[in-house]
Structure 1
Amino acid sequence: MRTASINRKTHETDIAVEVNLDGTGSYDVSTGIGFLDHMIEQFSRHSLIDITCRIAGDLHVDQHHTTEDSAIAIGQAIAKAMGDKAGIGRYGDVHSPMDEALCRVSLDISGRPYFVWKAAFTQEKLGEFDTELVEHWFHSISQAVGITLHMELLYGTNNHHICEGLFKGFARAMRTAVELDPRKGGAIPSTKGILGQDTL
Structure 2
Amino acid sequence: MSSKSVSPRWAAMARDTNETKIQIALNLDGGDFPPDTDSRLTSAKEEGHASQASKSQIISVNTGIGFLDHMLHALAKHAGWSLALNCKGDLHIDDHHTAEDVCITLGYAFAQALNSMAGLARFGYAYAPLDEALSRAVIDLSNRPYSSFAQGARVTLHVDCLRGENDHHRAESAFKALAIAVRQATTKVAGREGEIPSTKGTLSA
Q: TM-score, normalised by structure 1?
A: 0.83
- 177-186 or 44-53: which moved more? 177-186
* Equivalent position of 1:20 in the other structure: 27
* Equivalent position of 1:191 in the other structure: 199
* Equivalent position of 2:16 in the other structure: 9
* Equivalent position of 2:130 in the other structure: 98
* Equivalent position of 1:54 in the other structure: 86
Match for 2:18: what amino acid?
Answer: H
Contact 1:25/1:46, CA 8 A, preserved across alignment: no
What is the RMSD of the two structures over their aligned residues, measured on CA atoms? 1.1
- 20-29 or 150-159: which moved more? 20-29
1:136-163 CA-partner distances (Å, limit 9, x unpaired): xxx3101111111111121111111000
CA–CA separation in structure 2 for the residues paired with 1:52 and 1:87: 27
Match for 1:68: what amino acid?
Answer: E
The higher-RCO structure (CA 8 Å, 6+ apart) is: 1
Q: Could you tell me how far 1:192 is from its partner in structure 2?
A: 2.3
1:38-97 CA-partner distances (Å, limit 9, x unpaired): 110000000001111011111111100110011011110010011122212111111111
CA–CA separation in structure 2 for the residues paired with 1:98 and 1:195: 34
Contact 1:84/1:194, CA 8 A, preserved across alignment: no
Match for 1:27: what amino acid?
Answer: I
Which SS does the other structure have where 2:143 is aligned? coil
Answering whether residue 164 of structure 2 is matched by residue 164 of structure 1, we say: no
More helix by share: 1
Q: TM-score, normalised by structure 2?
A: 0.81
Contact 1:93/1:173, CA 8 A, preserved across alignment: yes
| Count of aligned pairs | 173
**Percent identity for Structure 1 against Structure 2:** 45
Provide runs of 4+ in structure 1 moved above 3 Å: none
Q: Could you tell me how far 1:178 is from its partner in structure 2?
A: 1.2
Match of 2:76 among 12, 33, 44: 44
* Equivalent position of 1:82 in the other structure: 114
Contact 1:4/1:80, CA 8 A, preserved across alignment: yes
Q: Could you tell me how far 1:25 is from its partner in structure 2?
A: 4.1
In structure 2, the gaps of 5 or more residues are 1-7, 31-55
Contact 1:25/1:47, CA 8 A, preserved across alignment: no
Contact 1:101/1:161, CA 8 A, preserved across alignment: yes
Q: Could you tell me how far 1:194 is from its partner in structure 2?
A: 1.9
1:148-192 CA-partner distances (Å, limit 9, x unpaired): 111112111111100000000000000001121122123221122
Larger radius of gyration: 2
Which SS does the other structure have where 2:14 is aligned? strand
* Equivalent position of 2:62 in the other structure: 30
Match for 1:167: what amino acid?
Answer: F
Match for 1:151: what amino acid?
Answer: V
